[in-house]
Chain A
Amino acid sequence: MNALIISAVLGVVMMFSGIVLKQNSAVRSVAFAGIIILLLVNSLEMCGTVLFKVDINNLIAFNRFTLVFNSIAFGATFIYLLLTAEDMEKVGKSYAEYFALVFFVLCGVVLVTSFKSLLILFLGIEIITIPLYILTGSDKRNLRSNEASLKYFLLGSFSTGIMLMGIALIYGHQGNFSTEGVSFLPEGVKPSVLLVAGMLLMLFAMAFKVSAVPFHFWTPDVYDGAPTVFTSFMATIVKAAVFIAFIRLFEDSFGALQSGWQFIVALIIAATLLVGNITAVFQQSVKRMLAYSSISQAGFMLFALFALNTVDAKEGIILYAAAYSLATIGIFAVLNKLGDYSYEGFNGLSKEQPLLAGTAVVFLLSLAGIPLTAGFLSKFYMLKAALGTGKYLWLVIFAVLMAAVSVYYYFRVIQAMYFKDSKAQVPVSASAYYKVGLVLVAFLIILLGVYPEVLLSWLYF
């Protein structure tokens, strides 16, 4: 609750800071202060101190899982700001507004991770997506940015329509919007078709938001077209939050129907892994490759949905959210510094910028799921959870084979950085903040890869 209110307030504060403060660096400082406050109040709530007593009528509920994820989201946002806040200046003039939107998105993130009512889910998702439409289009003179924004907007509102139809059907079945309407289904009773149809529509809509195949089409274009600084944000924190919402929704509302939708989820996972990984192979732009890779990573994250309700899935998705967010923010931050998004742009980076290259290697290894990085353990949790269900071994084998394919495109970047010589690089200017941020991210990735309890123990105590 703390974070929900504070983040909304911070959004407003940032709005006005743009008017009050003339210096971008000052705005930035306010934003940093804001995110730290957000982290603090969220930590307070984890310790049991709720600052605002609001009668929420069982529409929202915060539990450990939510709070831990929110901390991850805020932490990741902090790192994200650390690494990219300066570069946001390049996007456009509305510097303070970008931060305001980021905070509003965080407000939405809090909502979608804590909803107990489909209404809150709907509002939360809208609060997340509407700022994103804008951030995507924030590079106004850039036609690619315009195009991405419009595509995102059209497809996004379409999926909203789908989701609302789903909600309506569910409402028709249960008569309210609570997510606990069908917490259990008696043995042998066939679920109402209204409910099942509504559930499927919700599944499609959420699959759209997390960019699972075949609802992923917006992802590459939008990620590619959006300003890189914002791609980084929406591909990581937002996506992870929607995942949490996805899992929360299916756990609370449709957990009882698991055997009914598991097969479809399995198909979606397989398709997501296939399309995400295979298509990424041939990409010539690293940015676009990362867009496809985010699809493939989503395929892995969906295993948490597939397995649902197991400890492995819960811990795994938390770890995955952290690992994936950190690594992706990191690699986007590096990408952002290079003018050239093609693979050739990375050539010889290890000689020009050993620190950038070295940390980028850590990020890529983590994304590829190499041991002792957080990426490995998170994938490992996912596989373990999936195997724990005892079903669909083929899916797991397929997933690991696809993980091997993913090594192909991630390592192409490493090859470019380390094994190829550079053609005269544009000099890269990196501030101390930035470098510290990179090292911090790399360290966190390795820490989580070696000792994930650091994070996971927060789920229990």
Chain B
Amino acid sequence: MKNVLQIVYLIPLIPLIGFLINGLGRKYLSKTLIGLIGCGTVLASFILSIWVFIQVKEGNVHTAHYFNFISVGDLKIPFAFKIDQLSSLFLLIITGVGFLIHVYSTAYMHNEKTDHYGRYFSYLNLFIFSMLLLVMGANYVIMFIGWEGVGLCSYLLIGYWFKNTEYNKAANKAFIMNRIGDLAFLIAIFWIIVRVGGVNFDDVFAVAKGEVQNRRFTPADITIITMLLFIGATGKSAQIPLYTWLPDAMAGPTPVSALIHAATMVTAGIYMIARSNVLYSLSHTTMTVVAIVGLATALLAATIALKQNDIKKVLAYSTVSQLGFMFLALGSGAYVAAVFHVMTHAFFKALLFLGSGSVIHAMGGEQDIRNMGGLSKKLKTTYWTFLIGCIAIAGIPPLSGFFSKDAILISTFNLKFGIVFYVIAGLTALLTAYYMFRLLFVTFNGSFRGTEEQKHHLHESPIAMTLPLIVLAFLSVVGGLVGIPEVLKGNDLIGKFLSPVISPVKHAHDIAHSTEILLMIIISVLVLVVIGFAWARFKNYRHKEETGFGKVLENKWYVDELYEKIIVQPLHNFGGFLKNVIDTKVVDGLVNGAGRVINYGSRQLRLLQSGQVGIYVLLMIVGMVFFFVIQFFIRK
């Protein structure tokens, strides 16, 4: 059945139809029907994606060209989809995880009013559509359409409970920070157009590889383009300096956090860079910058996560940190490792978020872990799946996180001063284990610290919620198997699969296999130690006020406040200055001033008309003398 590639347009189209039906019919459809449509469309896409994946695995890649989106002069931007190894893999992740989260949502959001329920599912479907567009696009413009589209959906979903002003502000923040990155992305696209005359991936990469006559990138071009693209990625994938929106984005419903702000959208930056690996590999500078930013983000977010008390905030910072890891990998040239981590991270982070959703659901909306504790008895499924997620993210073998994280850690040796990167990354991995297990222990162990009412209400979530948890837990366990490195006698399936798209990295500072294995063992042991330490500290958690450095961490290094002080406020004040002073007093003042001058002139000039005949004659005579002088003595 090769012809499934002919109908790939259905993959995004079906969710789009779901969006339209749910969006327009939200007042008329029942909740069940809305849920069915919402899930069904994504399921359909998922099935198609599997089908596509099978085809791709057999080596059939395809570029589907539908119509010219924009065609001006020589510049032709087709509306085209590119189905290859990379996109098919992402299709699976998106539709697969997306489907699970849809299912989960039917239960999680069941208390909403019908039209809001419909609105929610239509947004989710629209998101799936946009995300699919992003990964399927055969050129940067289609990718950008998806890119902004997911930003929009993120905005809509963060602000889903629109009565809450704080949530809306968080939504705005997310959108605007994304837009900053988007601008860079756009400029990169324009730069590409200047040099290539088109935006199709194939054309761009061909030029980059020097396969096209008369068209080439200079090294400076490459660096500028890749840097701009990377800035775009920092916005979408929440890297320094544009990461602060992601924790705030937790204002949205928890499944949204799981889907958008953990599993899929935030990995768009990784996808984009992996997609552009041809370009990136040409710019050493950018690669280094990417690696440093990634590592710094990972470390920073991890430290902040240590002291967060909101269950979702911890996960959010963990996401930021993990994304940092992925960028570290990209910067090290280990694109496959990054993609691999995207996949595993999608599993376990979705799992963790959905787990936290289950907890919040059970706690009646409570998110502060200081008010939880001892939930493991009541929420058995949730607890166990959450535990699996924690193990996976902490990187304990043989769960999925171990393999992907290890691939990243090892890749750092490709960099100059690789050992420094390795040590810091390793430290971050330990921190990850620490805060995740702190979260686990504080939430599920010890005694219950909530209200009596909450205690009374505690119950395991319905099957629609636990089933996705179980599936994801399973995937978290086995997901790593596709990427077992050769060191461990695996065959690195994923690396091989992606090799047509991502050329294997030449290891500059190859390290011996034995060292590699030794490092794996060391880090695993250290992780276990850290977990033990966390158990000792948090098995019977009692809240106490943070002081000193802890307080700095709890307040996220005061980065938000800093941004507010050095960017937002000055701009705000400057806008006010322009509005109240420059525009009204200066620019309009000049215009009105011209009028006023004329009016003043009029008032003064009319005094010349004094009413006195003598003065009239005098002025006439003066005028005559003046003109005589001009005529006879000046302009002879």
Contacts and interface: CB of A to CB of B under 8 A. Distances in A.
A278 B609 contact: no
A155 B613 contact: yes
Interface in B588-610: 598-599, 601-603, 605-606, 608-609
B185 to A, nearest CB: 47
A339 interface: no
Given A278-B605, A279-B602, A279-B606, A217 B631 contact: no
B619 A214 contact: yes
A298 interface: no
* Residue among A154, A261, A264, A278 with most chain B CB within 10 A: A278
A263 B627 CA distance: 10
A260 interface: yes
A215 B630 contact: no
A193 B611 contact: no
B624 interface: yes
Given A278-B605, A282-B599, A217 B616 contact: yes
A281 interface: yes
Interface string B623-636: 11001101110010
B617 interface: yes
A372 B521 CA distance: 92
A176 interface: no
A339 B616 CA distance: 30
A220 interface: yes
Given A193-B632, A221-B611, A279 B617 contact: no
A281 B602 contact: yes
A282 B628 contact: no
Nearest to B626: A214
B632 A215 contact: no
Nearest to B611: A221
A208 interface: yes
Point out which of A197, A204, A215, A217 has the most chain B C-beta atoms below 10 A from its C-beta. Answer: A217
A280 interface: yes
B620 A215 contact: yes
Interface string A140-151: 000000000001
Interface string A185-210: 00000000100110011011000100
Contacts of A217: 608-609, 616, 619-620
A338 interface: no
Interface string A255-280: 00000110110010000000100111
Nearest to B601: A278
Contacts of A283: 606
A203 B602 CA distance: 27
A278 B604 CA distance: 10
A214 B631 contact: no
A281 B635 CA distance: 34
Contacts of B623: 204, 213-215
Contacts of A213: 623
Interface residues of A, number: 34
Contacts of A264: 627, 630-631
Nearest to A203: B627
B591 to A, nearest CB: 13
Contact of B631 (A151, A218, A260): A260
A136 to B, nearest CB: 14
Interface of A is mostly: helix
Given A214-B619, A215-B620, A215-B623, A278 B632 contact: no
A196 B632 CA distance: 9
Nearest to B607: A279
A173 B617 CA distance: 28
Contacts of A162: 624
Interface in A348-397: none
Contact of B616 (A155, A204, A278, A279): A155
A107 B128 CA distance: 92
A151 B619 CA distance: 15
A158 interface: yes
B544 to A, nearest CB: 72
Contacts of A151: 613, 616
A278 B627 CA distance: 22
B502 to A, nearest CB: 66
Contacts, number: 72
A281 B599 CA distance: 7
A119 interface: no
Secondary structure type dominating chain B contacts: helix
Interface string B444-474: 0000000000000000000000000000000
Contacts of B609: 217, 220-221, 279
Contact of B620 (A203, A208, A278, A282): A208
A218 B603 contact: no
A194 to B, nearest CB: 12
B616 A282 contact: no
A200 B619 contact: no
Contact of B617 (A158, A196, A220, A221): A158
B605 A196 contact: no
Interface in A140-177: 151, 154-155, 158, 162
A200 B627 contact: yes
A13 interface: no
A281 B598 contact: yes
Given A221-B609, A282-B599, A283-B606, A263 B630 contact: yes
B606 A218 contact: no
A145 B620 CA distance: 23
A353 B115 CA distance: 58
Nearest to A150: B613
A86 B599 CA distance: 38
A405 interface: yes
A282 B611 contact: no
Contacts of A261: 631
Contacts of A158: 617
Interface in A115-156: 151, 154-155
Contacts of A405: 598
Contacts of A214: 619-620, 622-623
A275 B617 contact: no
A282 B598 CA distance: 9
A220 B616 CA distance: 12
Interface in B485-540: none
Interface in A395-423: 405, 408
B617 A282 contact: no
A273 B272 CA distance: 67
Contacts of B631: 196, 200, 260-261, 264
A264 B623 CA distance: 11
A158 B632 CA distance: 23
A98 to B, nearest CB: 26
A281 B601 CA distance: 9
User: Which of B601, B611, B632 has the most chain A CB atoms closer than 10 A to its own CB?
Assistant: B601
Contacts of B620: 204, 208, 214-215, 217
B610 to A, nearest CB: 9
Nearest to A218: B616
Contacts of A282: 599, 602-603, 606
A314 B613 CA distance: 35
Contacts of B601: 278, 281
A117 B602 CA distance: 41
Contacts of B611: 221
A191 B382 CA distance: 113
Given A218-B616, A278-B602, 19 more contacts: A155-B613, A158-B617, A197-B628, A200-B628, A204-B623, A204-B627, A215-B620, A215-B623, A217-B608, A264-B627, A264-B630, A267-B630, A275-B605, A278-B601, A279-B605, A281-B599, A282-B599, A282-B603, A282-B606
6 contacts: A155-B616, A203-B627, A214-B619, A214-B623, A264-B630, A282-B606
Interface of B: 598-599, 601-603, 605-606, 608-609, 611, 613, 616-617, 619-620, 622-624, 627-628, 630-632, 635
Interface of A: 151, 154-155, 158, 162, 193, 196-197, 200-201, 203-204, 208, 213-215, 217-218, 220-221, 260-261, 263-264, 267, 275, 278-283, 405, 408
